[in-house]
């Protein structure tokens, strides 16, 4: 229970399990920050790659993930990254169960959380996820707020890591003396460092957020579920 010793917590969520995660994990570790990585095990298995703004984005092979994400959390992002709203109940459940199964097999730990691929969700999908045994699921829409979310299955991040207002939000969070617990929850994709040439910006943010004695740094599950 971090709330017994801290009023503020910081956590990160990164999607897709891609090659640029290697550089991102190095930066997170350098600044002693903790994150959750949402993985499509089906695409890791097939080493699926796609082109985005002239950059080839490659999935990391399944067998390399355990070592890379040591000290962080891995969570479900479905087996093959479909638009869940287009699938039948059985297909949605299968996408989630297959990912849970392979993540557990790869990491020897049962995943507890999830990020919706493309941020696509509705009440029907939320009900299926609740039945799958997962305990939280992140959407894309930002709260622009650091108040802990009351709905862990429609979990809003504070904002995207490269949101135009992120520095304002961070400054406000760091300066706050509120007695209520607060969570700064930032999400993104490591390939944004490459395609938007933002590695320096990302490092500046990590540096600014690191080494505050009054802040708890944890993975999503450590911050949300305790
Ligand atoms: Zn994704």
| Domain 2-224 is found in CATH 3.20.20.480 | no
Q: How far is the CA of 121 from the centre of ligand 1 (A)?
A: 13
Q: Look at residues 49, 50, 45 and name the one whose alpha carbon lies nearest to residue 65.
A: 45
Each residue of 41-67: pLDDT tens digit?
999 998 888 898 888 999 999 999 999
Q: How far is the CA of 95 from the centre of ligand 1 (A)?
A: 14
Q: How far is the CA of 78 from the centre of ligand 1 (A)?
A: 9
pTM above 0.85, yes or no: yes
Environment class of 198 (CB within 10 Å of its CB; exposed 0-12, middle 13-18, buried 19+) = middle
Q: How far is the CA of 177 from the centre of ligand 1 (A)?
A: 35
Cα–Cα distance between 191 and 172 in angstroms, integer?
27
Q: Output the pLDDT for position 225.
A: 94
Contact 135, 75 (CB under 8 A): no
Locate 215 and state its tokens. 């802040």
Lowest mean pLDDT: which of 52-56, 156-160, 209-213? 52-56
Q: How far is the CA of 116 from the centre of ligand 1 (A)?
A: 7
Q: Output the pLDDT for position 53.
A: 87
Cα–Cα distance between 182 and 148 in angstroms, integer?
6
Backbone angles phi, psi at 51, to 5 degrees: -105, 130
DSSP-assigned beta bridge partners for residue 18 = 59
Locate 64 and state its tokens. 């390399």
Reported in sequence order, the residue ranges of 69-190 that DSSP labels E, i.e. its strands, are 73-76, 113-115, 136-138, 159-160, 182-188
Q: Taking residues 179-196, what's their average pLDDT?
A: 95
Each residue of 116-140: pLDDT tens digit?
999 999 999 999 999 999 999 999 9
Contact 166, 160 (CB under 8 A): yes
Q: How far is the CA of 81 from the centre of ligand 1 (A)?
A: 6
Q: How far is the CA of 38 from the centre of ligand 1 (A)?
A: 8
Q: How far is the CA of 11 from the centre of ligand 1 (A)?
A: 18
| CB-based contacts of 90, cutoff 8 Å, min separation 6 | none
Q: Taking residues 75-98, what's their average pLDDT?
A: 97
Cα–Cα distance between 9 and 146 in angstroms, integer?
9
Listed by start position, the domains of the chain span 2-224
């Amino acid at each position: 229970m971090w709330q017994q010793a801290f009023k503020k917590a910081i956590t990160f969520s990164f999607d897709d399990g891609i090659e640029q995660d290697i550089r991102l994990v190095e930066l997170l570790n350098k600044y002693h920050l903790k994150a959750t990585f949402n993985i499509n095990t089906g695409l890791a298995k097939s080493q699926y790659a796609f082109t985005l703004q002239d950059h080839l984005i490659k999935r990391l092979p399944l067998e390399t993930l355990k070592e890379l994400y040591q000290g962080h959390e891995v969570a479900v992002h479905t087996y093959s990254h479909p638009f869940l709203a287009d699938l039948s109940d059985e297909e949605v459940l299968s996408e989630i169960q297959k990912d849970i199964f392979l993540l557990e097999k790869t990491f020897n730990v049962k995943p507890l959380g999830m990020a919706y691929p493309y941020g696509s969700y509705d009440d029907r999908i939320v009900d299926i996820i609740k039945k799958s045994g997962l305990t939280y699921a992140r959407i894309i829409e930002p709260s622009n707020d650091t108040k802990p979310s009351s709905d862990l299955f429609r979990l809003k991040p504070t904002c995207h890591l490269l949101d135009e207002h992120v520095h304002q939000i961070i400054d406000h969070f760091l300066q706050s003396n509120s007695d209520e617990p607060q969570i700064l929850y930032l999400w993104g994709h490591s390939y944004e460092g490459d395609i938007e040439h933002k590695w320096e910006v990302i490092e500046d943010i990590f540096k600014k957020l690191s080494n505050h004695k009054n802040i708890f740094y944890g993975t999503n599950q450590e911050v949300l579920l305790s």
